[in-house]
Amino acid sequence: MNINEIPTPSYVIDEGRLEDNLKILQSVAEASGCSILLAQKAFSAFSEYPLIAKYLAGCTASGLYEARLGAEEMGKENHVFSPAYKESEIEEIASICDHVIFNSFNELERFASKVYEIQKVRGITDGIGIRINPECSTQDEPIYDPCAPGSRLGVTEKNFRKGMKERPEVFALVSGLHCHTLCEQDSDALETTLAAVRERFGDVLALPQMKWLNLGGGHHISKKTYDRDRLIRLVKGLKEDYPLNIYLEPGEAVALNAGYLVTEVMDVVDNDKQILILDASAACHMPDVLEMPYRPPLKDSGLPDEKKYTYRLSSCTCLAGDITGDYSFDTEKKRGDRLVFEDMAIYSMVKNNTFNGMPLPSIYAMDAGGECRLIKAFGYEDFKNRLS
């Protein structure tokens, strides 16, 4: 089948674009000498992990389940960070993760020794890290700013110095620092952040026990306008000044513009505005539309009133605010027409839900020739079995 023949609603992973992104990331890794990991929180369709593994060093996780998925399906470097870990999970995490990154000296004191002993049996002696907060905001959205006042993410310089002084035996187990402050940003934001990291933690990075620095995600490396030359220069500069392995862990950059959500018009409602009722939902299938919020790209559409026919796109849930946005088209829309939302590989499949009993979209992969093959179909049992 091609994309015009598959049932709706469905996600479609564009493997050609996915591979294009991966080639860019591989070229950056080779030119700079860093290692790049897939952030599974953005994209965890593991049917594509064999392709991703050809180009990236491994993956990173936000907890046990993602870590287990990376170990089972990627089989390369496997890193994890969480603001806190459960006692019941830490042994398994240590047994399958190469780097375990903690968010506080409290967590270090609680778990680092156990993790170290388990990893040592696996031949890993540099797998324990701690997340730092350089207190350097480079974005305007508080919800995505780990450096905002009162943030729970990462250890500030003041608390870091205190932890080093008061808990030296715990700090002695730390071999790397983790710093994630960006969100869909260019390398100028990274340059600003690194200046703060050098100022606040440069002496820590220079300690003999330090083996690596993880610069987190949010690097929009595969975006056409991204300044990759500056990123390469920044990483090379770090490696010249500190004898460290450098890691990047992008999510968006791996699958940017490499997916679609195909939906069908179920009805057209006229209530001061022309409103299209779709079988896809912002609340259920594109949650970031309401959370960020943002206006997802839509194939062959324009801004309101830019083209002849303007419609508000909504869904068949009961949520009044389940609105994707206002779009215009060259042609009038009617029941049965198909619309294709773009850039739907990242933070869509991983965040969707079955509110109102909405069916989960099927997942297809589209090869370079445009042929679509079914990866996963969902039904009533997937909805029913979530809660009982």
pLDDT tens by residue, 34-53: 999 999 999 999 999 999 99
Helix (H, G, I), strand (E, B) or coil at 199: helix
For the stretch 314-336, pLDDT in tens is 999 999 999 999 999 999 999 99
The yes-or-no verdict on residue 30 having pLDDT over 90 is yes
In the prediction, which pLDDT does 176 show?
98
How far is C-alpha 335 from the geometric centre of its chain's CA atoms?
35
In this prediction, residue 266 carries a pLDDT of: 98
Q: Which domains does the chain show, CATH number per domain?
A: 33-255 (3.20.20.10), 259-344+352-384 (2.40.37.10)
- Between 228-241 and 187-205, two packed helices, what is the crossing angle to 10 degrees? 10
Instruction: Decide if pLDDT at 90 tops 90.
Output: yes
Single pTM value for the model = 0.95
Q: Does residue 141 have a pLDDT over 90?
A: no
**Separation CA 122–CA 98 (nearest Å):** 9
- What is the pLDDT, as a whole number, of residue 143? 87
Q: Which residues contact 1 (CB under 8 A, 6 or more apart)?
A: 364, 371, 372
Q: Distance between CA atoms of 85 and 89, rounded to whole angstroms?
A: 7
Asked if the model's pLDDT at residue 82 lies above 90, the reply is yes
Q: pLDDT > 90: what percent of the chain?
A: 97
How confident is the prediction for the chain on average, in pLDDT?
97
pLDDT tens, position by position, 160-217? 999 999 999 999 999 999 999 999 999 999 999 999 999 999 999 999 999 999 999 9
- Taking only the tens place, the pLDDT of each residue in 329-382 is 999 999 999 999 999 999 999 999 999 999 999 999 999 999 999 999 999 999
pLDDT above 90: residue 142: no
pLDDT above 90 for 139: no
Mean pLDDT (whole number) for 79-98: 98
Phi, psi of 305 (to 5 degrees): 70, 5
